[in-house]
């Protein structure tokens, strides 16, 4: 019998949930006996080769690329689980929701106390993913089957 496939990704967050997963230490060797990792920073695979039994998503959605990755996960994962407080409710990144996006850009690139930007230009390269007006938890972008709370959840 084939082992179930698991895919993981980190969106807008601190990567702490993946670090918590790695905190299982040598038990990760037992885990890889039970499941195959598809896309994951653990094995550095960048895209789901699908279909996948379980998808684990940490972090919320702060930009268009986050939404695209989350939609890809929903499409390929039979069960999708939001892991950690950022994925479930936006977490610390959602604090920017209290300030208009334009003000965030101006503070970060023009008026911040450590800013050295003689051109006075806010970066707008087409390769930089466009920020959403607000950071949203995963369940506001796609259907999520289960939530695993914590900041981060324990190993």
Residues 139-154 have pLDDT tens digits of: 999 999 999 999 999 8
CB neighbour list of residue 57: distance below 8 Å, 6 or more residues apart? 8, 9, 11, 70, 73, 80, 81, 82, 83, 87, 138, 144
The pLDDT value recorded for residue 109 is: 95
Q: What is the pLDDT of residues 62-100, one digit of tens each?
A: 999 999 999 999 999 999 999 999 999 999 999 999 999
The pLDDT value recorded for residue 9 is: 94
Match 């299982």 to its residue by tokens: 24
DSSP 155: -
* SS3 label, residue 125: coil
Given a contact cutoff of 8 angstroms between Cβ atoms, the answer to whether 8 and 38 are in contact is no
* SS3 label, residue 12: strand
The pLDDT value recorded for residue 24 is: 86
pTM over the 0.85 mark: yes
The pLDDT value recorded for residue 48 is: 85
Q: What is the pLDDT of residues 6-56, one digit of tens each?
A: 999 999 999 999 888 888 888 888 988 999 888 887 777 778 877 999 999
The pLDDT value recorded for residue 65 is: 96
Match 């970060």 to its residue by tokens: 108
Determine the average pLDDT of the residues in 1-10: 90
């Amino acid at each position: 019998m084939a082992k179930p496939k698991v895919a993981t990704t980190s969106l807008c967050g601190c990567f702490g949930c993946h670090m918590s997963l790695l905190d299982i230490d040598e038990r990760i060797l037992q885990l890889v006996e039970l499941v195959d990792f598809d896309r994951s920073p653990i094995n550095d695979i960048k895209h789901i080769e699908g279909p996948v039994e379980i998808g684990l998503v940490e972090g919320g959605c702060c930009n268009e690329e986050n939404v695209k990755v989350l939609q890809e996960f929903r499409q390929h994962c039979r069960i999708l689980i939001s892991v950690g407080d950022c994925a479930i409710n936006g977490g610390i990144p959602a604090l920017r929701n209290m300030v208009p996006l334009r003000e965030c850009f101006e503070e970060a690139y023009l008026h911040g106390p450590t800013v050295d930007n003689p051109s006075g230009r806010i970066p707008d390269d087409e390769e930089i993913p466009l920020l959403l007006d607000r950071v949203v938890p995963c369940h506001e972008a796609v259907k999520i089957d289960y939530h695993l709370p914590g900041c981060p959840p324990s190993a």
